[in-house]
Structure 1
Amino acid sequence: MSDDLTADQQEAVVQFKSITGIENDENDDKVLRLLVIHEYNLNNAISTYFDSGFEMAETANTYSSGAQVHHDGQLHNRERTASPPRHSPTPPARDNIMNLQQQMFMDNLMPRFPKAPTISNGWQLEVGIHTSLIHEREEQQKKLLENEEDSESTISVPPTVVDEGKERRSPAAALWVLLLILPKTIWNILVSAIRFLFGLDTTSGSGESSKLSRTFNFDKFHPSYRLLDQVNSWIKKTELIKDDETLAEKESFEPEDSSTLVESNFNISESDFNNAHQISQREYHWLLVILVNDSVGCKRFVRELFANSGFNELFNKNSGTFKETQIFISNVERNREAFEVAHVYKVRRTPYIMLVGNVSPSPDIMASMSILYKSNLSTPFVSNDYEARLTVIKIIKNVNKFLEKFTPQLISARYDRQEMEFSRMIRQQQDDAYLQSLEQDRQKKVQREKEEKAKHDLEISYKMRQYYLLNLVKYDFFSSVTTTGEDEDKFRIAVKLPSGKRLVEFFRKSITIKEFYMFIELKLFVEELLETQGAEFEEITHIIDELIADVGLPRSLQEQPLTLEDYCVKYPFKFEVIQPYPKKVIVANDVKISEAPDFKGANFLVEFTCEDEDEDEDEEVDEESEN
């Protein structure tokens, strides 16, 4: 938020963000532009935001002052005559923006509640400095006391005769020792006694003691001070002072039952005023501020206030009519934050009570944190228990009138906020559903692409296998592994294929077992090819080039032919070569058949290893063809 804004303009920005539910600071510039367009009128700015968002703030030209827009005729003429660039939308004319509320003269005469702002945080630096000083002083006093105790226990001084001459010669030293020994509180008591004896005491009926000082006295400040603990003790006491004037009244009036702690009965705090202020503003709850000092009158007032049954009926957080009310109570003489609150709200004297709410005196005025009721009580109104009790009754009666009058406005604002939250939640759910749908579509697209790629890879793999096997047939792979019966460097091997066909061939001894497997693989492929083509092997050899061309393998892959090792790795054999007696599986490897003892005059069986899977695939193909 810019530092050039006035306090009213900053308050307007805060109110706009609070009502519209904007929590981050990223849209502060847009909020400010929208308020400038409507000349900081919250009603029209918020109405425009809920109608079209920040569209007007993003498209309209904003100016530093309204007079320039209304009186610069040439500027309007240029806007009406000049055509806008094609790449940017035409900004709306300022003459078309009508501020209906400011056209009504009587609206300016409507009474308004005093504003209830938050306090600055500048006082926290002073508190931090004095807190560190207090802790340091306490540590020094603690060490001093320990040293004095040690010296008293270890050193025994014999009785001596005091030299009066020496004592008279050092009065300053004796006074210095006296000042060191006596604590500061004793000197304050002595000074107060002297003021009282000479008629300078400020606790008498003049009420001057209740006036707020201009500066905070840190002599009474201590970081561990808690007013609520003292409030609990005040409530439990039947009398705070003893004098003839109030004794009879105390006997006739007994405080009401207040045996429980105030923290368990009320939403009360003695620090963090801004937090209570923000909660009341955001949640549309009441804020009750009570400021006191150390005087007996303030103690009477607080005791009678919390002991009053009407106060409990209104603000008890368990059973009160306005149980959500935030109560801030603090001591202006011992709490620097309370002193800051008193100066911001221009408190003249204590005890002080104030009712704050996010309301407005008229429906035509935008609601804001305002002071509905405040009372600076002078000393006569709390001079004794009877007067304090009557004062509390009158205050509760007046506060209750404002509560009953303006609570419906808060309830209506809560419902409006709930509706806004519901609509925002619905929009969020719709956005989440839309994003989820996009994510599902993206996942489906990725899955479809994966399936298409897998299908394409499978198709390429199938074509590469066909291309490789057809080229083996073309270049007569059978002749490279078999020989005629006249060659002596050979083995006669009989192989029974899964189809029942029996092959008897003479194989070269120099071939490996993998090449023997490749011979069977190619035989099975040729059988399948002959069956599909319905031709003899000699006819297939004549049209082998056409069959290779029909495979449709890309030329880039044709230029990268497979080797036997590559084929065995990429296309594992789906059959096994088995020796019947004794039953043994011949494993495909690079060992020559001449070195394998099982190949000489062998009879082998060929069995498929994935026969069941092939049958299932055939059944699925048949079902698809039938459908």
Structure 2
Amino acid sequence: MRKKPIKMDNEQLIQEFKTITNSEDDENIKNLLTIHDWNLNNAIMTFFDTGFESVNQPQSIINHRHDTNDHDTGFGDNPLEDIESTARSSGSDPFTYSTAQSFEMQDLIPRLPFAPRISNNWQYQIGIYNSLKPVETKVNTIWFLLLFVPKNLLNLIYSILRYFFKPKPNSFPKAINYELMDLNHEINFDNYNVYHKNYNDVYQKTKDNNEWLLVVLVNNDTSRFVESLLENNHFVNHFGEKGVVKLNIYVGNVDKSPESWEIGSKYQCKRLPSVYLIGNVTNNPSIMPSMSIIYRSNISIGFISNDVINQTTNKITKNLKKLTDHYEPQLITARLEKREIELSRKIKQNQDEAYIRSLEADKVKKLEKQKQLDLENYQKDKIKYLQYLKNSNWWEDLNTNGTIRIQIKLPEEKIVVKLDPSICLKDLYLFIETKLSDDIDIDEDCSGFKHNNDFKFELIQPYPKKVFDELHSPIEEVLKSGMSLLVELDEDED
């Protein structure tokens, strides 16, 4: 059975399918993508709904028919085309066809408007504004020239300009009025998480935590709308501190905050006040969630007058409640998935840390074991070295000019030795250690042994008590002839 070669872009789709679904069944992945005209989103959704059942069932039927009577069935060289035609024409797999058709219909659903971050141009504009100084001479010159224009003509020009360029009530300003700017302006409410600046940080926090973001933009003439909305009883009961849904609320006055003006400009605000409900959701299961504007309301000035503002806030609250209740399951699912991912990450991290600690513990044990083994080997070689010194004329060859006579009391005997003044105290210690060691039989040269000066005793003068431990000092500097010394073993020495 011949198969058509797969193009490079199709190979990439297969690899993306594997990455997202963690599946390694190349044949079924290829079949599923072929049925959906290589639409990756539709194929993934079908996979998560029914796995490869929609592929395996018609494939088995086709294979059976092809094996029994290939000429009668009329199948061609490519079974994947036959699967697709069978599913769409003869209805052998109505579920696959209906699923693909439903996804095609879902593609026609309008997407929610995307809610982008805002740029930082407003910050640069503030710096530019503060750096510029007004030029009084130009203004004075203009006023001086206007003195020569007839008054009636000026009134006519002014009336025409007012008629054509009169701003609409509560319309969004076309530019920032830096004269009214107040960067420290805030409105505080105890029952809500209200923000007045750093919009992009609030935006990112909302996205990362899968929460809701409510943006309310006003100006100096409509600022009372914020208090009316946030103090509305229905709004408090549903979105307040003890409510069902938690909101991050960004309140901005476009007359006092250039950042708020940038938000309104980015979100194409027409009138003030304006309300935007933003969340990381989607209205189409075949499209990945993104930060979207779920609700947008540019409120006319007539709906915020004192006699109807409560009705307006009630209606807005009703719409917000309806939409949040509809999309909240998506955010809850996303939060749970994020929590599971974070938990899995922590478990994996704890496992990695435990494994590293285990490796370090094994390494420490190995080092301790090697250290203990080296110590045991050293002690064995040391005993052989002491016996080698006993068997040789080491002491006699070293101590040729014994002019310093001292008495040394060992644990079991007293000895009198004559010391050469030029030898070191270490040599006397080594001589005493040979006296304290047991005799063994050896017949090997241990002259290359390196002694670590780890003597298990001290040479002291009983009265007045003094310890002689300057091992590298000559005898003539630390001992005098006629002294009586005592060998004192360490407490841990048997």
Q: Given the two structures, how large is their TM-score scaled by the length of structure 1?
A: 0.51
In 2 relative to 1, CA 493–377 (structure 1 residues): closer, same or farther, beyond 3 Å? closer
Residue in structure 1 matching 2:197, options 271, 276, 285: 271
The answer to whether 1:386 aligns with 2:310 is no
In 2 relative to 1, CA 514–497 (structure 1 residues): closer, same or farther, beyond 3 Å? farther
In 2 relative to 1, CA 39–275 (structure 1 residues): closer, same or farther, beyond 3 Å? farther
The answer to whether 1:465 aligns with 2:391 is no
Q: Matches of residues 295-314 of structure 1 in structure 2 within 5 Å?
A: 295=221, 298-299=222-223, 301-314=225-238
Residue in structure 2 matching 1:415, options 333, 336, 339: 336
- Measure, in 2, the Cα distance between the counterparts of 1:523 and 1:286: 85
User: 1:126: Cα distance to partner?
Assistant: 0.8
Q: Matches of residues 341-420 of structure 1 in structure 2 within 5 Å?
A: 341-382=263-304, 384-420=305-341
Residue type matched to 1:307 in 2? E
- Measure, in 1, the Cα distance between the counterparts of 2:311 and 2:391: 114
Give the 3-state SS of the residue equivalent to 1:290 in structure 2. Answer: strand
* Corresponding residue of 1:209: 169
User: 1:328: Cα distance to partner?
Assistant: 1.5
Computed over aligned residues only, the root mean square deviation of the Cα atoms, in angstroms, reads 5.3
- Measure, in 2, the Cα distance between the counterparts of 1:282 and 1:224: 27
* Corresponding residue of 2:443: 549
Give the 3-state SS of the residue equivalent to 1:287 in structure 2. Answer: strand
User: 1:431: Cα distance to partner?
Assistant: 1.0
The answer to whether 1:119 aligns with 2:153 is no
In 2 relative to 1, CA 211–513 (structure 1 residues): closer, same or farther, beyond 3 Å? closer
Residue type matched to 1:400 in 2? K
Residue in structure 2 matching 1:319, options 218, 242, 247: 242
In 2 relative to 1, CA 456–281 (structure 1 residues): closer, same or farther, beyond 3 Å? same
* Corresponding residue of 1:610: 489
Residue in structure 2 matching 1:331, options 234, 245, 253: 253
- Measure, in 1, the Cα distance between the counterparts of 2:171 and 2:460: 112
- Measure, in 2, the Cα distance between the counterparts of 1:123 and 1:333: 13
Residue in structure 1 matching 2:372, options 451, 467, 487: 451
CA contact (8 A) 2:457 2:488 kept: yes
* Corresponding residue of 2:60: none
Q: How many residues align?
A: 400
Q: Matches of residues 60-459 of structure 1 in structure 2 within 5 Å?
A: 104-133=103-132, 208-213=168-173, 215-224=174-183, 226=185, 228-229=186-187, 262-295=188-221, 298-299=222-223, 301-316=225-240, 318-322=241-245, 324-382=246-304, 384-459=305-380
User: 1:433: Cα distance to partner?
Assistant: 0.9
Residue type matched to 1:610 in 2? L
CA distances 1:377-417 after superposition (whole Å, capped 9, x unpaired): 223333x3123322222221122111222222222221121
CA contact (8 A) 1:281 1:358 kept: yes
Residue type matched to 1:263 in 2? F
Which sections of structure 2, spanning at least 5 residues, go unmatched?
1-8, 25-37, 40-79, 81-96, 148-154
CA contact (8 A) 1:481 1:516 kept: no
CA contact (8 A) 2:214 2:278 kept: yes
- Measure, in 1, the Cα distance between the counterparts of 2:426 and 2:230: 101
Residue type matched to 2:316 in 1? I
Residue type matched to 1:119 in 2? I
In 2 relative to 1, CA 195–461 (structure 1 residues): closer, same or farther, beyond 3 Å? farther
Residue type matched to 2:248 in 1? Q
The share of aligned pairs that are identical, in percent, is 26
- Measure, in 2, the Cα distance between the counterparts of 1:584 and 1:202: 109
- Measure, in 1, the Cα distance between the counterparts of 2:435 and 2:198: 91
- Measure, in 1, the Cα distance between the counterparts of 2:490 and 2:15: 84
- Measure, in 1, the Cα distance between the counterparts of 2:182 and 2:326: 40
CA contact (8 A) 2:272 2:299 kept: yes
User: 1:336: Cα distance to partner?
Assistant: 2.3
CA contact (8 A) 2:216 2:250 kept: yes
Residue type matched to 1:309 in 2? N
- Measure, in 2, the Cα distance between the counterparts of 1:496 and 1:303: 99
- Measure, in 2, the Cα distance between the counterparts of 1:282 and 1:343: 24
- Measure, in 2, the Cα distance between the counterparts of 1:386 and 1:368: 39
CA distances 1:289-325 after superposition (whole Å, capped 9, x unpaired): 1122333xx2453343233211222222x22322x30
- Measure, in 2, the Cα distance between the counterparts of 1:327 and 1:392: 15
User: 1:439: Cα distance to partner?
Assistant: 1.8
* Corresponding residue of 1:590: 475
- Measure, in 1, the Cα distance between the counterparts of 2:181 and 2:291: 31
In 2 relative to 1, CA 413–449 (structure 1 residues): closer, same or farther, beyond 3 Å? same
